[in-house]
Amino acid sequence: MTLVTERLRLIPLQDADAPFLFTLLRDQELMEFWHHPVITRAATGSEIVAGQLAAMADGQFLYWTVWRGEDAIGSVDLSALDFGHLRGEVGFLFRRDQWGRGYGREAVKALMAHAFGPLKLERLEARIHAANKRAKRLVMALGFEPEGRLRGHLLRDGARHDVDVFGLLKTSIAKNGA
């Protein structure tokens, strides 16, 4: 399902999005706080998209490419969907030249509306590399609350990294009017 905001269209991931996704995944600065190292082979980008499409078919993950007009600017997802416990996790990645323009906030807000609306989820979570201040500011601005730190949760490039967990309950949005 395509999600539409004032400035963006979030279109479900397609095979044709692999070259764009590769441009994100090969950017050293963009990938600094990601759970995977920088991707250097275009074929790996295609393999990742194939895996994401398979996960979508299983119904446990939803991936979108974010478009501003005819320009792909980012990728967002709802992952680890658990309809038994009515919860999921949000993720986002945007081109560096699009940072600071509010597109991440706008896209994640659309994910929240979709998750708490048609998907009938009651809880969302965001797991963010502890040093990623920009991403933490974004989720907190949307009402996510810090819930703790997973020490040494990620192993990347031979080093362990902490991950901060943020949570948002649907009832919190109703109370805060967000």
Can you say how many angstroms the Cα of residue 63 is from the centroid of all Cα atoms in its chain? 8
Residue type, 19: P
64-103: pLDDT as tens digits: 999 999 999 999 999 999 999 999 999 999 999 999 999 9
- For 3-176, the fitting CATH number among 3.50.50.60, 3.40.630.30, 3.90.1150.10, 3.40.718.10 is 3.40.630.30
Contacts with 116 (C-beta within 8 Å, 6 or more apart), sequence order:
122, 124, 170, 173
Structure tokens at 1: 């399902």
Q: What is the pTM of this model?
A: 0.92
2-59: pLDDT as tens digits: 999 999 999 999 999 999 999 999 998 888 887 777 888 888 888 989 999 999 998 8
Q: Phi first, then psi: what are they for 99, rounded to 5°?
A: -65, 150
Q: Which of 127, 69, 129, 68 is nearest to 94 (CA)?
A: 68
